[in-house]
Amino acid sequence: MAPFASRGVVHKKGTPILELSGVTVCYNGRVALEDVSFRLEEGEQIAVVGPNGAGKSTLFKVIAGVLRPTKGDVKVYGHEPGGHICIAYVPQRSQVDLTFPVTVADVVMMGRIGKLGPLRWPRARDWEFVHHCLQIVGLADLANRQIGELSGGQQQRVFIARALAQEAELMLMDEPLTGLDLTSQEEILRILDELRNHQVTIMVATHDLSLASERFDRVMLLNRRLLGIGHPQEVFTPEHLKEAYGGHLRLVQSADGIMVLSDTCCGRGIER
């Protein structure tokens, strides 16, 4: 089955998949995001990088339409984002209750809820689609296992399969590699590569500057304000990094470029 041929979503022609204009979000009068503007191209993969409290989750919430900006506009294919099933949020594992007795296939089927008829009764073709999504993430063999029995990396892949089952065109992934071993991280990265073939646009929030600079088309550096968006070489400049991380990064100049040493959880640093 061609997974996303059946999307059938009606979008305004010629509009970008995502466009933010002057978005400001305040919580109880405190500014969490300030005057953020950017647009995304269809099918691109972008890393959203910034320290804790930079506003990454807030950004995802306004894009997903669960939080309204205090000022400014969010447009998904030219429309307000609320209720768009073409946007999927892939949560951090720690935000999900995995003790609930439910199978892997059931979790993925939850992604299809907006596609099912009024009785919300999955048909044979929905189960077939779920199976196909599990194949893409390499978990078809575990469809009938309880979600709580899976490893952290496998659970993360189930959430990606759920977003695929939703036929999402824009996936917002919150720290998808955090806490995973290297093999599981590689597997998630392989799936991200595979999703390029399906024209899924992806935003990944990450602490990991190395991963962002090695693996993504564009990066966005956020610390309440948008400090830069573009190619990692243009965005991860010493000035921008100092502005984002202050004293939490050490920049070491050498003849070959700048080495960035971080005291945040990524711990790997980047070399330019």
Binding site for ligand ADP (CB under 6 A): 27-28, 32, 50, 52-58
**Residue of 65, 33, 59, 32 lying closest to 46 (CA atoms):** 59
Percent of residues in the chain assigned helix, strand, coil, to nearest 5: 35, 30, 40
- When the beta carbons of 109 and 235 are compared against ligand ADP, the nearer one is 235
- Edge to edge, the sheet with strand 18-27 lists 30-40, 18-27, 71-76
- When the beta carbons of 8 and 29 are compared against ligand ADP, the nearer one is 29
Q: How far is the CB of 34 from ligand ADP (least distance, A)?
A: 11
- When the beta carbons of 56 and 84 are compared against ligand ADP, the nearer one is 56
Q: Are 47 and 212 in contact (CB under 8 A)?
A: yes
Q: Strand 170-174 vs strand 45-49: parallel, antiparallel, or unpaired?
A: unpaired
Reduce the DSSP state of residue 82 to 3 states and report it. Answer: coil
Q: Would you say the C-alpha torsion 56, 167, 121, 157 has a positive or negative sign? A: negative
d(CA 187, CA 109): 22
Q: How far is the CB of 54 from ligand ADP (least distance, A)?
A: 4
- When the beta carbons of 25 and 143 are compared against ligand ADP, the nearer one is 25
H/E segment holding residue 97: none
Give the number of residues written for the chain. 272
d(CA 91, CA 178): 11
- When the beta carbons of 63 and 143 are compared against ligand ADP, the nearer one is 63
Q: Are 88 and 172 in contact (CB under 8 A)?
A: yes
- When the beta carbons of 165 and 220 are compared against ligand ADP, the nearer one is 220
- When the beta carbons of 51 and 152 are compared against ligand ADP, the nearer one is 51
- When the beta carbons of 154 and 178 are compared against ligand ADP, the nearer one is 178
Q: How far is the CB of 202 from ligand ADP (least distance, A)?
A: 17
Reduce the DSSP state of residue 258 to 3 states and report it. Answer: strand
Q: Strand 225-230 vs strand 249-254: parallel, antiparallel, or unpaired?
A: unpaired
Q: Would you say the C-alpha torsion 53, 191, 202, 99 has a positive or negative sign? A: negative
